[in-house]
Amino acid sequence: MIDIPIFPGLGTVVNCAAIIIGGLSGLAIGRFINEKLQQTLQISCAIAVIFIGIGGTLTKMLRVGADGSLEMTGAMMMIASLTIGGLIGEVIDIDGKFERFGEWLKVRTGNEDDNKFLDGFVTASLTFCIGAMSILGPINDALLGDCTVLYMKSVLDLVLVTVMAASMGKGCVFSSVSVGLFQGAVTIFAGLLEPLMTPAALANLSYVGNMLIFCVGINLMFGNKIRVANLLPALIIAAAQA
């Protein structure tokens, strides 16, 4: 029996491979369905992403009080994170830089004529990079040699990117580049990040991260109404308030 060596970053490699496989499968499916069915798939995907965001947010936002009633928690943390993070993101113009990177990737991969490339790339990248699993997974991978979180994320991403690619095209496949860069960076700096990722910090990050996932779903459903990339600093502000 041949032992497969475990190395830091294996979970991210598997995650990127799952996105590529799922994305290619989605492209293959997309060739055999008409535009009306593609629109239906996109709406279905949007609904799924919206409810993933809502569900994840509510698990952190609500708790049962002493009298058995539901109480809202973390409201000030959430407001401060989104407000301050949004201001920082707008000043830096993360959304603009993200789109320019997508345009560069579009040209470099020979997809200049693909009108859906940028939307697919940005939407899928944000969907797969936002959230506690994208940070906790690489940290566990690098420091503990435990890829369980990223293996779970890989399965979820594979299913979701299959549906997204069928309706939004090749750009979704190339979201694997964003995931590789982001989670790879977290893996490299895991030693520095690990002391900061306390249970409270991860809870705040998950709280705000799921709200941003909800925003991605809104964009999927109604077009790019929210500059989600410019809200990404809210994750850092949320974790810092733990």
**What distances in angstroms separate CA 65 from CA 54, 69, 123, 207, one per listed residue?**
21, 5, 37, 19
Closest CA to 42 of 160, 178, 209: 160
H helix intervals, the chain:
10-30, 35-61, 75-92, 94-108, 117-129, 133-144, 148-168, 175-188, 190-193, 199-222, 233-240
Residue with token string 């993101």: 89
Confidence (pLDDT) at 242: 81
Residues 23 and 46: their CA atoms lie apart, in Å, by: 16
Strand partners, 62: 72
What is the DSSP secondary-structure string of 71-86? EE--HHHHHHHHHHHH
pTM: 0.87
What CA–CA distance (Å, rounded) separates 144 from 182? 19
Model confidence over 131-187: pLDDT tens digits?
888 988 999 898 888 899 999 999 999 999 999 999 999 999 999 999 999 999 999
pLDDT of residue 70: 83
| Residue 14: C-alpha distances to residues 72, 126, 149, 154, 172 (Å) | 37, 18, 11, 7, 17
Task: Tell the residue number behind the tokens 């060739």, with chain if given.
Answer: 31
| Residue at 57: amino acid letter | T
What parts of the chain have a pLDDT lower than 50?
Answer: 1-5
Residue 241 Cα distances to 60, 79, 84, angstroms:
15, 12, 12
Q: Can you give the pLDDT at residue 7? A: 78
Q: How far apart are CA 49 and CA 160, in angstroms?
A: 9
Q: How far is residue 128 from each of residues 12, 28, 75, measured CA to CA in Å?
A: 12, 21, 25
Structure tokens at 117: 């490339």
CA distance 142 to 153: 16
